[in-house]
Amino acid sequence: MISSHTKKQIYAGIIASSTCLLITCVLTLTSPTNIKAGVLTSPSIWPAMCRHFSLSVDASLEQETQRQIRWHRRHPGAMKDMTENAQLYLAYVFQQTREKSLPAEIALVPFVESNYDPFARSAKGAAGLWQIMPDMASAHGLEINDLKDDRRNVIKATHTALNHLLYLKRRLHGRWDYAIAAYNAGEGRVRQAIRASNKSGGKVPWTKFLPAETRRYLPKIFALKAIIQHPKRYAINLPNIDVDTYFSNSPIHRTYAFSQISDICKIDSDLLHKLNAEWRGHIFTEDNKTIILPISQSFSCKKKLSRIPMFSNRWARHKTKSTDTIKSLGTLYNTNPSTIAGINSLGNTKLCHRRVLMIPKNSQGIPPLSKDASLAAAIAATDLLGPTKISHIVQKKDTVHTISKQHDVKVGHIAYWNRLRYPYTLTTGRTLVIWKNVKANVRYTKYVVQPGDTLSQIAKQHKTSVNRIMQVSNLKDPRKIRPYQVITIPK
């Protein structure tokens, strides 16, 4: 027997497919595969996504979905702002949903999570396009350290998020609406909502028992879907985004500086940082093994990089010896020692033996990461928000249960963070990752800028002044704040 919910999803899929065929015909005349200036452009992504929309709106969410659509109609420019970041990443995310046979609505989740900004952070500690929390990153093998944050890497983060969504769907009765809600609120909260609805005999929808934020989460996604399906009905122009993936993942065998690759390959440095957003500084190391490049320049760039010598007129690639110090390297390359330390993210004057350093020759200062001050701050952000990471070295008599009591965390969480399998056998000397919530500094609080926010509105909301926020957040221009930027608010 097919459940009534499954039937609804099948009917919704048929209707969506039929609607999308009409939209495809209309959009094909205007945006995809046109010849502009003698160049054949790629088809638009919107008809392709529309063909693979398959989820139906729960009746209990219809009213909120319509409210979100009305908001977009009052702010028709919002779609343009939302898709500005997505130009680089949406096609890749959509392609990944197709490879895993997922509904195309999943590709809309990063719009709601981060505005498709790989540098987005939340006050709770989430980061990247998919707003992955540190504990989830540990569970999926993503690195977070002073040099890089893999949650900001579009390829690794997308792989992690899609696998987690599939896991949630399997755990929650095979329903995508449950899984997407759980991605926002957590599996436990959704289970509680389902149980509460069942206790009412189904008279009260499960969505009524969700947190307020999650009750708006699914409608935001369904509102975007409706606008993509019927842009003319809602008088909203959809910016053109190519259906073809913008970038490719290319192998590298050396450590490079971003500005070095920018000079050699003639690729904008800001673009390189946005494509390789996991790196917090001026360089990325050969340990990463790959670099993300615009697909149109990938082949020529790899060829150029393979030809450059270890030393060039502007850069030296130096593998440290036991006798090296930052001061001696500064003398050798006529470069300020603080510049060497800053570019290579060296916290002190001690150098690890045989570490590869990128050293700009004849340089007396650290160049900015970007001419855009807000982007530079986002790239370099190291003030990790949210839970604090604790490393626990397993002792001889330790068990998962004794460690959970010691740190006041659940056994299941320790197993999840460290990918332990039951019966949770531990090896003496192994380092376990523990994530704990620590009380925030009472003098300050962190605030994540929302689309449409102004600094004066934020100041009024927190009963402080614009000047005080600018001072503690190190802001130079009150007009230059961007959505999902994290700022400090004095209490």
Report how far apart, in Å, the C-alpha atoms of 270 and of each of 262, 277, 305, 306, 335 are.
9, 10, 19, 22, 24
Query: Per DSSP, what are the bridge partners of residue 127?
Result: 121, 132
Helix crossing, 411-418 with 400-407: angle to 10°? 110
Contacts of 283 (CB under 8 A, 6+ apart): 255, 256, 257, 258, 343, 344, 345, 358
CA 256 to chain CA mean position, Å = 23
Report how far apart, in Å, the C-alpha atoms of 47 and of each of 76, 223, 228 are.
20, 16, 8
Contacts of 216 (CB under 8 A, 6+ apart): 64, 68
Number of H helices, E strands in the chain: 20, 12
Q: Are 116 and 110 in contact (CB under 8 A)?
A: yes
Contacts of 179 (CB under 8 A, 6+ apart): 165, 166, 168, 169, 172
Q: Are 284 and 273 in contact (CB under 8 A)?
A: no
Active site residue 278: no
Q: Which two tokens stand for residue 353?
A: 């033996």
Residue in 64, 105, 113, 278 annotated catalytic: 113
Amino acid at 108: L
Q: What are phi and psi of 330, to 5 degrees?
A: -60, -40
Query: Per DSSP, what are the bridge partners of residue 121?
Result: 127
Q: Cα angle at 371 between 327 and 295, to 5 degrees? A: 100
Active-site positions?
113
